[in-house]
Chain A
Amino acid sequence: MKKVSVVILILALLLVSANMFAQGSKESSDDGGKLKVAMVLKTLSSEYWKRVVNGAVEAAEKYDVELIKLGPPSEDAVEQQINMVQDVLTSNPVALVFSPSQPATAVNVLMKAKEKGIPVILVDTPMGNDFTDFATFIGTENYAAGKLGAEVMIKALGKNKKAVVIEGAPGNPTTTQRADGAEEAFKAAGYQILSRQPGYSDRERAYTTMQNILQANKDVDAVFCSNDEMALGALRALQQAGVDAAVMGTDGNKGALESIIAGGLFGSAAQKPEMMGYLGVEYAVKLARGETIEKRIDSGVDIITIETAQAALDSLK
């Protein structure tokens, strides 16, 4: 019996120490009337989402609110994310800041939030047409990001050149909109679009795609890619073929920034994840104060080029 009680004791200790691992504020009934904001993201364990959390924490400190932040271990753990939303709603936060891994699966639980009168602030990823009662959607204007990225290249290269556009998987709205924006900007500046093809958001696939495009035509001046991974793949194909073209990626990832500094990529249209987190909490506070807010808030883009890449890289660390 002795050993059994030892095991039970360990279990108890485990749970009590889990309480210490609770990030930041602990829940309690006497939290001095501080506003409570709940945030459930796709995961907390990747670079991008950590940056969203950092922004949210900054806003929580500024406005002196209690921030509950949860996210499953990976973006695949869809049901676990829904469970987290369910669990967090029982603490009656003033608002739920939420980024759905699979928007279709979140409809039921967001309806629950609505029934309880808890407003939903979406960040990064919008809901489909099944749920339109959210308070606001804060995210990158993808079309504008693509357009702006292409325009910076056009400014450097001049008008009437030749461009290639590589997008993500067909049907992925995010990457398609970015490519649409870039194509529009190229056309407006008198560029000839040599080819627009899917690179499936993957470095290797974009590398092959770019190789195939170069087989047909080596006279390329500008390449726009809907994410950084694809931009790095396309860049490799261009370098191997000895073609000197400007390549613009999207996202502002570490790898892309390093490539920009090393003279590889021309630039990257960076999303602002910290801004999404920050605005998420800020607008939750505004809602709690009874202010009305717009249904769509642009978290903005930064076009990072050789001048700003080092500063952007430093801010990631």
Chain B
Amino acid sequence: MMNALLQNIRKTFKRRKKSEGRRSFGILLSLIVLCAIIAILSPRFLTIDNLRNVTSQATVSAVVSIGLFLAILTGGIDLSVGSILALSIMMMGIFQVNLGLDPYLSMLLCLGVGSLVGLLNGLLLTKLKLPHPFISTMGTQKIARGLSLAVTAAAPISGFAVPVEFLGSRSIGPIPASVILVIVLYVTMYLFLTNTATGRHIYAVGGNVEASRLSGINVDKVLCIVYTLSGFMAALGGIVLVGRVNAAYPLAGQDYETDAIAAVIIGGSSFSGGVGKIYNTVVGVLIIAVLRNGLNLLNVDSAFQTVAIGVVIILAVYLDVIRQKKSKISK
């Protein structure tokens, strides 16, 4: 019976492969069309200076979105990433600037804080059996945000050492270090998801929790790994942010979860879990970043920028609905 189930899962994967390729192409095409339109409207868009700006502006969101991609892949959600980011960097500020600890140790502690809150999300979901991660991560979102305001009585921390700032503000050759980090992270995550047992289990849990459980996958462990990774990525994104703005502030990361969710969904992941490609998420992140940057270059009111991003989310999901209908018909 177990074998039959596993085979069934494999079959679904194979069937998905074809439409998956077409989907990735569609998402990439949207980005290219968007860039082309903006380039026509603003001659400044394609300058080296601006392209460096856009890519480095997208990096924090790109790192944070990895966590959301994983959570959504398992059919869940992580609303706490923005707050975890803030708490992690505030603690890093206290360790490195206020207490004078070694910068590298402080960064490790920062990643530790993020992972720990992420693990807490996983445990709330699997051990306390809270009904949906929407609730558990909303709880930790409030807790982490409140704590990050409390640790310094809302004051920002600046004066970080060079190693901490490196990721966010330095370049290796002509390429910002943060862009290289994002490339490394996405390649690693792709290999992790496709070539390791744990990676495939994450897809399986998202596809069908019961079937996964019956086929011997430790679902609770997989979920804990996913939420811990999400917390880790939030903290890592935080380190990049600290480098970019040269300070840690308790309101950092406000609303980053909505941007990240938007990027994952624009990147073609299914909200019901089990479907999605990590490399499409980075395209989703770039679509949002290019849109914001383009509208800034065109001197468009930020109120309209928010409207535009809303429209793009709806269009992206609608494209997906059309595609799914088509692939059903073609079957």
Contact = CB atoms under 8 A, between A and B. Distances in A.
B249 A78 contact: yes
Contact of A79 (B245, B294, B322): B245
B156 A3 contact: no
A128 B158 CA distance: 11
A76 B249 CA distance: 11
Nearest to A13: B37
B5 interface: no
Interface in A1-39: 3-4, 7-8, 10-12, 14-16, 18-19, 21-29
Contacts of A255: none
Contact of B30 (A11, A21, A87, A88): A11
Interface in B222-270: 241, 244-247, 249, 251-252, 254-255
B66 interface: no
A84 B245 CA distance: 13
A4 B26 contact: yes
A102 interface: yes
A70 B252 contact: no
Nearest to A108: B246
Question: Which bracket fits the contact residues of B?
Answer: 35 or more
A22 B29 CA distance: 26
A69 B303 CA distance: 13
Contacts of B249: 78, 102, 104-105
Contacts of B254: 76-77
A100 to B, nearest CB: 11
Given A3-B322, A27-B44, A104 B247 contact: yes
A105 B302 contact: no
By secondary structure, the B interface counts as helix
Contact of B302 (A8, A11, A45): A45
A7 B301 contact: no
A160 interface: no
B298 A86 contact: no
B83 interface: no
Contacts of A4: 26, 319, 322-323
A57 to B, nearest CB: 13
Nearest to A130: B158
B322 A87 contact: no
Nearest to B251: A76
A72 interface: yes
A4 B322 CA distance: 8
Interface of A: 3-4, 7-8, 10-12, 14-16, 18-19, 21-29, 43-45, 68-73, 76-80, 82-84, 86-88, 90-91, 102, 104-109, 128, 130, 171
Given A4-B319, A73-B305, A87-B293, 9 more contacts: A7-B322, A14-B311, A15-B308, A18-B300, A19-B41, A23-B300, A29-B43, A91-B44, A171-B153
- For the complex of A and B, list the 4 residue pairs with the smallest distance between their C-beta atoms, beginning with the closest: A105-B245, A104-B247, A87-B296, A104-B158
28 contacts: A7-B322, A8-B29, A8-B33, A11-B315, A12-B33, A15-B38, A22-B299, A24-B299, A25-B299, A43-B302, A70-B302, A72-B302, A76-B255, A78-B251, A79-B60, A82-B245, A83-B293, A83-B296, A87-B50, A87-B296, A90-B47, A91-B297, A102-B245, A102-B247, A102-B251, A104-B156, A105-B249, A130-B159
